[in-house]
Amino acid sequence: MNTIERNMAAAILRFEDSRVTGPDSLRVSRLPAADKGGKWEICGICDGIEPAVFNRLKALLDAGKREEAWEGCLQYVLDNTAAARSWMGSDVHPATEFILRDHHFNSGSRNTGKILQRALNIHGAGLTVDGIVGPKTRQELQDQLGGTDEAVFLVGLQEKRKAFYRSCKQFPVFGKGWLSRSERAYQFACSLI
């Protein structure tokens, strides 16, 4: 895990739990009743979705091994979002990689693929929006990032991310938080350019 990846993972953990800034503030939190991830979470790592990971991290916290739990959270974020990293083809565009990783952690691979394809289509890619990031989508991403200002691409990606959240059934319940997260992620991504 290099410094940029570490900073990306730490930012995602902060977006999941704004009270957590590092190992000393890491905690187990109750999920809202409307959340389908289970009952408990540690920075977005939920007992209902990833019970083995959650239980391992909770055991580390219970044992007072906060640094080890923090490192485990960081590594889990990077492992969980590795697909988004693979789509990039290189580490030359960390801002775009970060937005894709953050959305992947928050909404999954297929939904992240869809916002990516929609953003690429803004510039005439003509991709089918199916969420499957295959060779054509990857090549288009690499071509567009290679031929344009990354900041311009990020604006479109951000627009499509917000549109995705607005289309979700649970937007009335979680929408304000999702849009806030999206804005904070965009600001963090811009700092990487």
Per DSSP, 41 falls in state E
Kindly calculate the radius of gyration of the chain based on its CA atoms and give it in whole angstroms. Answer: 17
Tokens of 127: 């991709």
- By the 8 A CB rule, do 19 and 25 touch? yes
Three-class SS of residue 30?
strand
Tokens of 71: 């490192």
CA 163 to chain CA mean position, Å? 16
pLDDT, one tens digit for every residue, the chain (193 residues) = 899 999 999 999 999 999 999 999 999 999 988 888 899 999 999 999 999 999 999 999 999 999 999 999 999 999 999 999 999 988 999 999 999 999 999 999 999 999 999 999 998 999 999 999 999 999 999 999 998 899 999 999 999 999 999 999 999 999 999 999 999 999 999 999 9
